[in-house]
Structure 1
Amino acid sequence: MAENSGCTLDENTRRYYLDAMGIQCWQPLAPAGLQPPVTDRAPASVSGSEAKPADQSAPERSVPEKSVPENPVIDQPLPLAQIIAQCQSCGLHTARRQALVDRGDRTSDLAFVLLAPQADDETAGELCSGEAGELFRKMLAAIDVGLDSVFITTLLKCPVPAGHTVTPAEVAACRGYLEQQLQVVQPRLVVVLGQSAAQCLLQKGDSLDALREAINPATRNSLQAGQSDSPYRFASMPLLVSYSPHELLAEAQHKRKAWADLQLLQSLMTQG
């Protein structure tokens, strides 16, 4: 038989290719009698180009690996409703049973701002509920606007106890939430409903009628003139003020003035 003419692989090269092919090699243990004696002597130094054995090389400094959890938690902003539900920035949070952030269409051109959720709202689970909600639905229907097609929210995010006077600190605690909401919705007009809501938002002590007479004509004139710098704005959006449905239920004599405000609102929203 002819001799094999192929080159012979050394042991290290052979193991490399077997390992690359996925074939596991086992190193047989040397017989007990042939085990090299264990010695505490330091190995002789290696000079020239002779390589050091692997077990005699200087130990490398180990770098601790960063621990990565199996399901890493990504830090994301909490939804506004969850932030409000956890808010304890003022004492009003003790009266809160649930966070009622808004109601209606978050892409609407028309936003209404009430003072705070009512007790009926927390029971119903939505803002402007009950008898006040039905009255407001009829008011909007009179100008061909659906209740669900507008955006409704509140300045204060927690109910105000009966007889409690809202403080500037309480308004400041919630003002940023309202600004965030309106920046997301980007309505063409913001209508503040109710004397307390208007006074707190605008930081003015004038009566609602005085605010209506000052703000509504100024906003009307600037919008009709195509001006973008209306003197009365919140979060850079033009304002109107009017009566809340809760006030109209208690004082029906104001319905005529509320109707005039609705007609103004309709004309501004339809002028393009």
Structure 2
Amino acid sequence: MPVRTWETLKQACLNCTRCKLANTRTHVVVGNGNQNADVMLIGEGPGEQEDRQGIPFVGPAGQLLDKMLLSIGLERADVYVANIVKCRPPGNRDPAADEKEACMPFLRYQTHLVQPKIIVCLGRIAAQALISPDFKITKEHGVWYERKGFWMIATYHPSALLRDPMKKRPAYEDLKLIRQKIDEICPPLKPDGQ
């Protein structure tokens, strides 16, 4: 599937039946935000609210994500947000290996189209898919990795912070590291569409 445009990618995702999640989804959640962003945030998969609206991170975890971004001087319009899988796993369970594998080409195309300098993995599932299969979020969050020309870092998923507020302090320390890296390697933020 040669993807040269956002529209081609969107149509490919909307028509996808590569795994069983296609049978239970309400909406495909492709991604959203600044398509020219220097920073790309990647979560694990859509939740109930995201499945209803077709937009990533719109439920309680998304509201917290917006606050997290604001704490380091960013808004949703400054970044691009996507997930490992584009359809909601029933009951918000972890995506299965075959589901992640089926969706990975779409994420690669998104990353190719965005061309970010920094990729932030939100949570263990994203970090294991993108950084290392045995990634331990409690031990390895806040560590920078350079992979295929991208700077990558993982932090706690916002939903984990809602379940365990004790993780908010280390997550904020991770966010400060992300801000430092943005200031170090990114030009002033690009306006959307430019």
Q: TM-score range by the shorter chain?
A: 0.7 to 0.9
Q: CA deviation at 1:198?
A: 1.6
Distance 1:265 1:248 in 2: 18
Distance 1:165 1:248 in 2: 17
Select the residue among 229, 248, 260 that pairs with 2:173: 260
Matched, 1:176 2:105: yes
Residue 240 of structure 1 aligns to which amino acid in structure 2? Answer: I
> Unaligned stretches of 5+ in structure 1?
1-75, 220-229
> Unaligned stretches of 5+ in structure 2?
186-194
Matched, 1:190 2:119: yes
Distance 1:82 1:152 in 2: 18
Select the residue among 135, 144, 155 that pairs with 2:64: 135
Q: How does 1:28-107 map to 2 (within 5 A)?
A: 79-107=8-36
SS of equivalent to 2:18: coil
Note if contact 1:81-1:99 (Cα within 8 Å) is conserved in structure 2. Answer: no
Distance 2:55 2:93 in 1: 22
2:183 corresponds in structure 1 to: 270
Select the residue among 113, 127, 136 that pairs with 2:42: 113
Q: CA deviation at 1:152?
A: 0.2
Q: CA deviation at 1:101?
A: 0.7
Select the residue among 54, 57, 67 that pairs with 1:125: 54
1:162 corresponds in structure 2 to: 91
Q: CA deviation at 1:89?
A: 0.9
Q: CA deviation at 1:129?
A: 0.4
Distance 2:137 2:99 in 1: 21
Distance 2:132 2:75 in 1: 31
When normalised by structure 2's length, the TM-score is 0.85
**Greater Cα shift, 237-246 or 204-213:** 204-213
Distance 1:207 1:168 in 2: 17
When normalised by structure 1's length, the TM-score is 0.62
Structure 1 residues 212 and 151 mapped into 2: Cα distance closer, same or farther (>3 Å)?
A: same
Q: CA deviation at 1:149?
A: 1.3
Q: Deviations over 1:199-237 (max 9, x none)?
A: 233452342123326xx1x43xxxxxxxxxx2xx2x542
Q: CA deviation at 1:183?
A: 0.8
Number of equivalenced pairs: 181
Identity %: 27
1:244 corresponds in structure 2 to: 157
Structure 1 residues 160 and 267 mapped into 2: Cα distance closer, same or farther (>3 Å)?
A: same
Distance 1:95 1:110 in 2: 31
Structure 1 residues 125 and 260 mapped into 2: Cα distance closer, same or farther (>3 Å)?
A: same
Residue 178 of structure 2 aligns to which amino acid in structure 1? Answer: L
SS of equivalent to 2:11: helix
Structure 1 residues 85 and 163 mapped into 2: Cα distance closer, same or farther (>3 Å)?
A: closer
Note if contact 1:81-1:100 (Cα within 8 Å) is conserved in structure 2. Answer: no
SS of equivalent to 2:86: coil
Select the residue among 74, 82, 103 that pairs with 1:145: 74
Q: Deviations over 1:32-76 (max 9, x none)?
A: xxxxxxxxxxxxxxxxxxxxxxxxxxxxxxxxxxxxxxxxxxxx9
Residue 172 of structure 1 aligns to which amino acid in structure 2? Answer: E
Runs of 4+ in 1 over 4 A off after TM superposition: none
1:53 corresponds in structure 2 to: none
Q: CA deviation at 1:158?
A: 0.8
Which structure: larger Rg? Answer: 1
* Greater relative contact order (Cα < 8 A, sep 6+): 2
